[in-house]
Structure 1
């Protein structure tokens, strides 16, 4: 069973990389619900003080945006891909709480420092363990699986719940890529600058960076397996409450056996 758990963890880690977007997913279309041209915004002239990114080279804006995210006190990251969804609240002290869904399976994740609690659903166990799923679920009895960031089987899943990890994926340069400035947009009431990344063999991706206050990344749009994909970064600086499962609500991953 250990090997299957490891394979399952690897699949969700791959989802984390996709979700982080690496500034590589984009539909090439703006969301009509969250974005609109500044020309159509009557309040554009009354916007807060600009942060100066307009005058910087595109690549430098990406770097500054990644660094702003890296230093953010907290953020909520949510996204939808072809067969995957995530909704995670996290802070820069190593705390995280959220949900990740992939191809019909779901995992609830709670992280506090080095400790990680995971609660996979029935579909996950069936897909991962097959005929062993029922006995595993009986052993767990509805409890969380308690592990740590150092655990070779599931610990790496904590990379999903890491602000720095998402920031690192944003400014991870790749060979043959180019970044150019696009339009100015309004994203959820904040003036933003569009940055368009192109690379041979891949569709364009669009990053929207706040033009006022901190140059936070606000949205990333792209494509996942030929379908629209989008990641939203919001609620910067929010005071999230992270509640960890109690001793009777979790079981150490080692007790699952091999």
Structure 2
């Protein structure tokens, strides 16, 4: 379904911003973390991110792709479970997403149906009447949602792009974000500045990324490392089967 693909791509755009700063080989040192060179801090942050079993991410702002500022708020794990929402901004609509095991639920709002599915969208919205659209993870119409809900997909993006970083990497002074002591490392490349605020304690996860320049003005917050994804799923009487609504022939993948 076209609207679901748009929502999934929006979430993917948010997660990919991490790639431009957390690239390189992993380094280890016993000295004070904040005193390490910028590259070693970035390396440890990338390693920590690749090691998590689950996380929560919240992205907001304009990622420089010609769209309104959007918000992505998702909890996801390496077993493919996911829960959260994507708001495309500018009254273009929002979608609630839940994936548990092999089942996927999506709940587009009225603005989403109207703007992202102009042919028949209002009819779909009327039929659903505020309920979730439910399908199987193997359904090609839901594949974009399934992919973005899998933390392993995100980890593969980080790994595949580990050697693509360029530009200049610098370290800033220690700062506190939401009670967490962090050290910022910034990469300037091709007119864009990406800053990762890395936790100076624990496993040294990145807790915030900001993207400025090149048409982008956005931030991505990471939290809930290794915490379980919420297990609640929509009730049966609050769902409509995707095949009953869209027909029984899967769309091309």
| TM-score under structure 1 length normalisation | 0.75
What CA distance in whole angstroms lies between the structure 2 residues aligned with 1:219 and 1:64? 15
Unpaired runs of 5+ residues, structure 1, are 27-48
- Paired residues of 2:208 and 2:222 also in contact (CA < 8 A): yes
Q: Which residue of 1 aligns with 2:52?
A: 72
Contact 2:10 2:72 in 1 (8 A): no
The aligned counterpart of 1:236 is 225
Aligned residues, how many?
Answer: 229
Q: Distance in 1 between matches of 2:118 and 2:153?
A: 32
| Superimposed CA distance per residue, residues 141-184 of structure 1 (whole angstroms, 9 cap, x where no aligned partner) | 33211134433222212333333344444452436444333332
- C-alpha distance in structure 1 between counterparts of 2:122 and 2:144, whole Å: 25
Paired residue for 1:190, among 177, 180, 183?
180
Instruction: State whether residues 20 and 187 of structure 2, in contact with CA within 8 Å, keep that contact through their aligned partners in structure 1.
Output: no
The match for 1:147 is 135
- The aligned runs of 1:45-124 (5 Å cut-off) are 52=33, 54-55=35-36, 58=39, 60-82=40-62, 83-103=69-89, 104=91, 105-124=93-112
| Superposed CA RMSD | 3.0
- Whether the aligned pair in 1 keeps the contact of 2:188 and 2:194 (CA below 8 Å) is yes
Please give the per-residue CA displacement for 1:171-227, whole angstroms capped at 9, x wherever unaligned: 524364443333322222222221112222x31100111121111110000137735
Deviates more, 1:15-24 or 1:173-182: 173-182
- Provide the C-alpha distance between the structure 2 equivalents of 1:102 and 1:196, rounded to a whole number of angstroms: 27
Which sits farther off after the overlay, 128-137 or 61-70? 61-70
Aligned to 2:199: 210
Aligned equivalents of 1:70 and 1:87: distance in 2? 19
- Whether the 8 Å contact between 2:9 and 2:144 is mirrored in structure 1 is no
Per chain length, whose mean CA-contact separation is higher, i.e. which structure has more relative contact order (CA < 8 Å, sep 6+)?
1
Judged with a 3 Å threshold, the aligned counterparts in structure 2 of structure 1 residues 64 and 152 are, in CA distance, closer, same or farther, namely farther
1:11 corresponds to which residue?
6
Using the TM superposition, give the Cα deviation of residue 73 of structure 1 relative to its aligned residue in structure 2, in angstroms: 4.2
